[in-house]
Amino acid sequence: MTNNKENIHLVAPRSHVSQEMREARHSHKGMVFWLTGLSGAGKSTLAHTAELMLFEKGYNIVVLDGDAIRTGLCNDLCFSPEDRQENNRRIAELAKILVRNATICLCAFISPSETARKNAKDIIGEEFFKEVFISCSSEECERRDVKGFYKKARTGEIKNYTGVSSNYEAPTNPDLIIVTENKTVTENTNELFEFIVAHTKNLELEISS
């Protein structure tokens, strides 16, 4: 990896279109909603379902999904603690760019480490970051696992699998907790949808209109 000291001469150009101008165009603020939880908890399902609901309402929104990122931007990384940290750092840097362009960004990643999630929050900026814990018991996650990844992890066929051979640190103070095993996808998605809408309102636009 390149040493940051070698990049000291780099100066990022300033856009002629400000974040405020973009937010005025879309009538909402850019914000990251970081969905964390075990594999099978329902992160991707909720993110993509909420994405469609928001898109149909005219929101500028995108989902960054763990599997999609792993097959592209982060296909050079493995699942060691160090690579997981780097995976989350790259996602956070991408999400930061999207937020500054007035995009609502739903990040659906296991992101098992409290430290990695805090680093993501620091990169993106506290005012643009909401942590959403998608809570589900490991037993229920394994029951939902039609691909058999949990079973393969327990037999040692898959290494460093979160919730089996690799630890998951649940958030200690998330902005929202959605418990997925007791409610329907529709109920859980509506809860996420309402939370997103409430935290992306551009109050300055409402006051001036």
159 among annotated binding-site residues? no
Angle between helices 185-200 and 43-56 (to 10 degrees): 60
**Angle 162-168-173 (CA atoms, 0-180°, nearest 5)?**
150
Q: Which residue has the tokens 């051979």?
A: 165
Q: Which fold has domain 18-196?
A: Rossmann fold (3.40.50)
The per-residue pLDDT for range 115-174, each reduced to its tens digit, is: 999 999 999 999 999 999 999 999 999 999 878 889 888 888 888 888 788 889 999 999
102 among annotated binding-site residues? no
The full length of the chain comes to 209
The per-residue pLDDT for range 37-55, each reduced to its tens digit, is: 999 999 999 999 999 999 9
98 among annotated binding-site residues? no
Domain layout of the chain by residue ranges? 18-196
- Taken in order 66, 98, 174, 79, is the CA torsion positive or negative? positive
38 among annotated binding-site residues? yes
Q: What is the DSSP string of 81-125?
A: HHHHHHHHHHHHHHHHHHHHTT-EEEEE-----HHHHHHHHHHH-
Residues recognised as catalytic:
111
Q: Is the entire prediction scored with pTM above 0.95?
A: no
- Percentage of the chain lying above the pLDDT 70 cut: 80
Q: What is the DSSP string of 13-69?
A: PPPSS-HHHHHHHHTS--EEEEEE--TTSSHHHHHHHHHHHHHHTT--EEEEEHHHH
What is the model's pLDDT at position 208?
45
